[in-house]
Amino acid sequence: MLIQSPPILFAFGMPGGMEWIVLLVIGLLIFGRRLPEVGRSLGRGIVEFKRGVKGIDDEITDASEESAKKQINGTSAYNDTTEPTVSGEKTTNETKD
């Protein structure tokens, strides 16, 4: 007994050898002489994305190292005697007589 898959499953599969060649020819016809420019701009975009991700990673690493140093020294950002106000200015907890 032979079990057959429904034909709809094959409609969304990966392209085969001949389909890749057709796609390559269509791509060359569309981009033609601009293909090096497209490659360069794609490469620049990837480099900028990697720089952005590395910058975020560096900021996270620096913040965690700073936090670890403060914990080792026994100090914390919350140990100071000033509290921020709504406008961002700091006020002291002491009352003035």
List Cα–Cα distances, 47 to 34, 58, 85, in angstroms: 20, 16, 41
For residue 47, the enclosing domain spans 34-67
Please report whether residue 94 resides in a domain: no
Give residue 63's pLDDT: 87
- Is 44 inside a domain boundary? yes
pTM above 0.75, yes or no: no
CA-to-CA distance for 56 and 71, rounded, in angstroms? 23
Please report the pLDDT score of residue 47 as a whole number.
Answer: 94
Q: How many domains does the chain have?
A: 1
pLDDT at 46: 95
pLDDT of residue 57: 87
Evaluate whether residue 60 is within a structural domain.
yes
- Is residue 56 domain-resident? yes
d(CA 20, CA 59): 43
Q: Of 81, 85, 80, which is closest to residue 95 (Cα–Cα)?
A: 81
Q: Which residues contact 39 (CB under 8 A, 6 or more apart)?
A: none
Give Cα separations from 80 to 53, 56, 77, 83 (angstroms).
33, 28, 7, 8
Domain presence at residue 54:
yes
Instruction: Per-residue pLDDT tens, the chain, 97 aa: give them.
Output: 556 655 554 566 777 889 889 998 998 888 888 888 888 999 999 999 999 999 898 889 888 888 888 888 776 555 555 555 555 555 555 555 4
Asked whether residue 17 is domain-assigned, the answer is no
* CA gap 7, 36 in Å, rounded: 39
**CA gap 75, 13 in Å, rounded:** 59
